[in-house]
Amino acid sequence: MRYERPETIEAAIALLADAEAKSFVLAGGTDLLVRMQNDTFEADLIVDIKSIEGMDAVTQTDDGFLIGAAVSAAALSENAALVAEWPGVVEAANLIGSTQIQGRCTMVGNLCNASPAADSVPALVAADARVRIAGPDGSREVAILDIPTYPGKTSLTKGEIIVAIVLPKAATRSGDAYLRFTPRTEMDIAVVGVGINLTLDEGGVVAAARIALGAVGPTVSLVEEAAKALIGSKLDQAALDALASACSAASNPIDDKRGTIAFRKQVAGVLARRVAQTAYTRAGGK
């Protein structure tokens, strides 16, 4: 197996595009290195992107934030402006694994591993984030929702690398939040994860809502019916009941020892209520 650590994105793309056999990008390695321990895993080329300029930077722009693909979850929580504007995104990334894992893992690796239970993905979808991709045919920007296509699969094509996450500027009077349910309190993956981003009008009425569910389908889903349940409300009981019903109905989970289908559907509704209340308070709602 060949290990390369290029210093430019062009060199990284060329390595991946020219590779005839199985090749992988390496960011934090907390998924990839674990998979490499498996006898059935094959890799001929590993391209480590951590020496490429800009990959480890969080940049605040007029339009929001650019988060380099190699920025660790731990580094996100050290960026006060990011935490203030997108607390839900940061709290989701900081639920990944443990302190040690968070020192290495990235949100882009979490996304590209394409686990339905990836913690940062529902929060990023709720935030309407996009990714900037560079490849042999140039650059493109794609919604986070469109990257995972199936468990373990992404829409990236040969030679393509995600360079950064593009987080929009948070709207005035908006707030986001993320919660997950795990059978154990630590070092477990989500049985359900919910990310919500709410924007209020001047009177505290929900004017826009994005509700994303993780771990209850093959990929993260954006639930339009759940958004409709909240828009026009001040999160009264009827709106929260409608939100919970919409999230339970939109869940299409697996049935296993970590949770039955009925349990996961119910938890989706329960979590959605709690996350909506946190997002509403963060948006300035009372």
Complex with ligand FAD: residue 30 or 233, whichever CB lies closer = 30
Task: State the nearest-atom distance from the C-beta of 100 to ligand FAD, in Å.
Answer: 8
Complex with ligand FAD: residue 25 or 126, whichever CB lies closer = 25
Binding footprint of ligand FAD on the chain (CB under 6 A): 24-32, 34, 49, 69, 95-97, 101, 104-106, 108-110, 112-113, 118-119, 156, 161-162, 187, 189
Complex with ligand FAD: residue 31 or 128, whichever CB lies closer = 31
Task: State the nearest-atom distance from the C-beta of 201 to ligand FAD, in Å.
Answer: 34
Task: State the nearest-atom distance from the C-beta of 170 to ligand FAD, in Å.
Answer: 23
Task: State the nearest-atom distance from the C-beta of 46 to ligand FAD, in Å.
Answer: 8
Complex with ligand FAD: residue 227 or 268, whichever CB lies closer = 268
Complex with ligand FAD: residue 134 or 230, whichever CB lies closer = 134
What is the three-state SS of the chain?
Answer: CEEECCCCHHHHHHHHHHCCCCEEEECCCCCHHHHHCCCCCCCCEEEECCCCCCCCCEEEECCEEEEECCCEHHHHHCCHHHHHHCHHHHHHHCCCCCHHHHCCCEHHHHHHCCCCCCCHHHHHHHCCCEEEEEECCEEEEEEHHHCEEECCEECCCCCCEEEEEEEECCCCCEEEEEEEECCCCCCCCCCEEEEEEEEECCCCCEEEEEEEEECCCCCCEECHHHHHHHCCCCCCHHHHHHHHHHHHHHCCCCCECCECHHHHHHHHHHHHHHHHHHHHHHCCCC
